[in-house]
Chains A and B, each alone.
Chain A
Amino acid sequence: EDQVTQSPEALRLQEGESSSLNCSYTVSGLRGLFWYRQDPGKGPEFLFTLYSAGEEKEKERLKATLTKKESFLHITAPKPEDSATYLCAVQALTSGSARQLTFGSGTQLTVLP
């Protein structure tokens, strides 16, 4: 069974204080790992897709990295508008076709001014 564990559950940072969110996963053959951002009262919004260990993706103050067992979402010099819940999801390969996504419970990030 595919599993995704995100840590910490909640993180409070001061504006400008860089940090990382962790997503540990167990899948039988990874097709892709996805990061989403979810603001209160809204649906998740796509951020990144990572496919293989060593891959990195960047967007503004966010950088996602991937190893064979986990992914990190690095937030550099965060601003209050980066406050949101960050979700990680994995998609496994099975018999040549893609399985459905398995989501983690998310990390709720609060950036204080």
Chain B
Amino acid sequence: EAQVTQNPRYLITVTGKKLTVTCSQNMNHEYMSWYRQDPGLGLRQIYYSMNVEVTDKGDVPEGYKVSRKEKRNFPLILESPSPNQTSLYFCASSRDNRHEKLFFGSGTQLSVL
């Protein structure tokens, strides 16, 4: 089954404790992206990757890091989380940069205390 898998589904942490949210897709997609979703603000892009070893900033990249060492994986790293990073996070992938159809993961609800 074609899917984007994110883990964990829920995460509660404290300010400053480094964390990683994993994302994996099984569709051999070139393009992957991370979004955060906040009430009233819609989906905002954090980082994206056009292919292995190619990443770029989205609209709200501050406080986040990503890496794309393998085509299927695109982890999101918060080196020193802060309460304003409490949000619902989605990973997405598509065949290429034209975004004909984005496939989203089920989301990670992060709470930073």
Contact = CB atoms under 8 A, between A and B. Distances in A.
Nearest to B58: A100
Interface stretch (A63-71, A75-83, A102-110): A102-110
A101 interface: yes
Chain B interface: which size bin?
Answer: 20 to 34
Main secondary structure of the interface of A (DSSP, over half): strand
B45 A101 contact: yes
B41 A105 contact: yes
A97 interface: yes
A27 B7 CA distance: 34
Nearest to B43: A103
Interface in B90-113: 90, 92, 97-107
A105 B103 CA distance: 18
B74 interface: no
B45 A44 contact: no
Contact of B104 (A45, A49, A100, A104): A45
Contacts of A89: 43
Interface in A37-94: 41-46, 49, 87, 89, 91
Interface in A1-22: 4
Chain A interface: which size bin?
Answer: 20 to 34
A100 B43 contact: no
A36 B40 CA distance: 17
A42 B101 CA distance: 17
Contacts of B48: 100
Given A43-B90, A43-B92, A105 B42 contact: yes
Interface in B39-82: 40-45, 48, 58-59
Given A32-B100, A44-B102, 6 more contacts: A36-B102, A43-B106, A100-B45, A103-B35, A103-B42, A105-B41
9 contacts: A34-B99, A43-B90, A43-B104, A46-B103, A49-B100, A87-B43, A98-B98, A101-B99, A103-B44
